[in-house]
Structure 1
Amino acid sequence: MNERLHSVLAQRGVSPESLAEVCEVDPKTVSRWLGGRVPHPRHRFRVAGHLRVEETFLWPAPPRRAARPGDGLGTELVGTYQNRASVPRDMWISLLREAREEIGVLVFSGTFFAQSNPHVAKMLVERAADGVRVRLCFGDPEGQAVVIRGREEGIGDTLAAKIRASLTYYRLLLAETGCEVRLHDTTLYTSLFRYDDNLLVNPHVWGQPASANPLLHLNRADGTGWFDNYAQSFEAVWAGARPWTPDQEGTAAHGQD
């Protein structure tokens, strides 16, 4: 069975029947692909393009040499997006719902994370109740990193205000076992969104808001690759971040419009 094809179809909300129509083949042919049969090259190309993933992720090439530590970089990249704003809302929600062990978010403000899903805090609490570890790490609105980032984007103090507004959505997480919210004062080169072995990487381009920058969807492979390197950077920032204490910091009691 081609588990990767099954997974990507589910994440993209594409049915086998609609994929068959796109590829101009019988639905039974798609069923055989799902069962493990490797399609003709022209069909592999069309499937990968339609699902916005690398062809080698869905159908890895047979190894030509002995594997070495660190191999697997070519199979970790599930898909790319021109900017974060183009990532389907349903994908964010499905990854959150399907997480079984860990959810980790590293951002400056992450305003979109709650505004695109008004129930995100409730959903995170539900995932924590099912045993998922939830860690959210926002920029420290009082820190120098936020001041510099706001200056680079040309928005001044607006970034700090956006962080404070974004944090108000997550007050109820503080009382939940398994949920933590921290503030970092780190030069953030990349925003990260981890859901178990899925990692959405949003690199920062100087002077541009994160929503306008590209996004990579990684899936962890064996060995030390992109996923592990980014995951380690999350842990490093998390270790140096401080717990969020809203009552002491005077954060507003209500979210923004």
Structure 2
Amino acid sequence: MNHALRRAMANAKMTEAQLAEACDVDGKTVSRWIANPTRIPHARHRWAACEALGEEEATLWPTAVRSALKTGPDREVIQVFPYRSAAPSALWRSLITKAQRELTFAGYTNY
């Protein structure tokens, strides 16, 4: 069972039918997402579910996010996100709390 999805639905007080409507899928499809943790919805449906539930994709379907990123010890660049807000908040929290000496927040904007 996808416990994270079930928990997010409970927190949002949303039924399977309501989530199905928000994602423009059949109610049975949402049931399958919940029942089978290895089932990964199409990206557009994941994004719609995340928006409806107020959760991050990495929380509800972590394997989908991992499979989309090229990671590993043989890579100089460990992870890349298209924009800051695409990085999971848990990652930011981890980076900040594990800092030992110094934090520098800098940005570059190309308008």
| Shared fold (TM-score, shorter chain, > 0.5) | yes
The equivalent of 2:7 in structure 1 is 7
Query: Shift in Å at residue 76 of structure 1?
Result: 2.9
How far the C-alpha of 1:75 sits from its partner, in A, is 6.5
Gaps of 5+ in 2: 74-86, 98-111
- The root-mean-square deviation of aligned C-alpha atoms, in Å, is 2.6
Shift of 1:25: 1.2
Deviation by residue 1:143-176 (Cα, 9 ceiling, x = unmatched): xxxxxxxxxxxxxxxxxxxxxxxxxxxxxxxxxx
Indicate the residue corresponding to 1:59 in structure 2. Answer: 61
Q: Say if 1:56 and 1:75, in contact at 8 Å, map to a contact too.
A: no
| CA-to-aligned-CA distance 1:47-67 (integer Å, 9 cap, x gap) | 11111111122111236326x
Instruction: Tell me how far apart the structure 2 counterparts of residues 65 and 16 of structure 1 sit (CA, whole Å).
Output: 36
Which amino acid letter does the alignment assign opposite residue 45 of structure 1?
A: W
Q: Secondary structure at the match of 1:62?
A: helix
Alignment of 1:171-182 (within 5 A): none
Q: 1:75 to 1:3 in 2, by over 3 A?
A: farther
Deviations 1:184-220 (A, max 9, x none): xxxxxxxxxxxxxxxxxxxxxxxxxxxxxxxxxxxxx
Q: Deviations over 1:86-120 (max 9, x none)?
A: xxxxxxxxxxxxxxxxxxxxxxxxxxxxxxxxxxx
Secondary structure at 2:17 match in 1: helix
- Where do residues 64-143 of structure 1 align in structure 2 (5 Å cutoff)? 64-65=71-72, 74=88, 76=90
> Which one has the bigger strand percentage?
1
State the identity as a percent: 39
Structure with the higher helix share, 1 or 2: 2
Map 1:1-257; keep pairs closer than 5 Å: 1-35=1-35, 36=37, 37-60=39-62, 61-62=65-66, 64-65=71-72, 74=88, 76=90, 225=94, 229=97
Structure 1 residues 121-154: Cα deviation after superposition (integer angstroms, max 9, x where no partner): xxxxxxxxxxxxxxxxxxxxxxxxxxxxxxxxxx
Unaligned 5+ segments in structure 1 are 67-72, 78-223, 230-257
Q: Distance in 1 between matches of 2:56 and 2:66?
A: 16
Kept in 2, the 8 Å contact 1:57–1:76? The answer is no
State whether residues 20 and 30 of structure 1, in contact with CA within 8 Å, keep that contact through their aligned partners in structure 2.
yes
- 1:23–1:43 CA contact under 8 A, matched in 2: yes
SS in 2 for 1:5: helix
- Mapped partners of 1:75, 1:30: distance in 2: 25
Instruction: State the one-letter code of the partner of 1:2.
Output: N
Letter in structure 2 aligned against 1:48: C
Correspondence for 2:83: none
Amino acid corresponding to residue 33 of structure 2 in structure 1: W
| Distance in 2 separating the partners of 1:65 and 1:29 | 33
Aligned partner letter, 1:9: M
Aligned residue type for 1:14: M
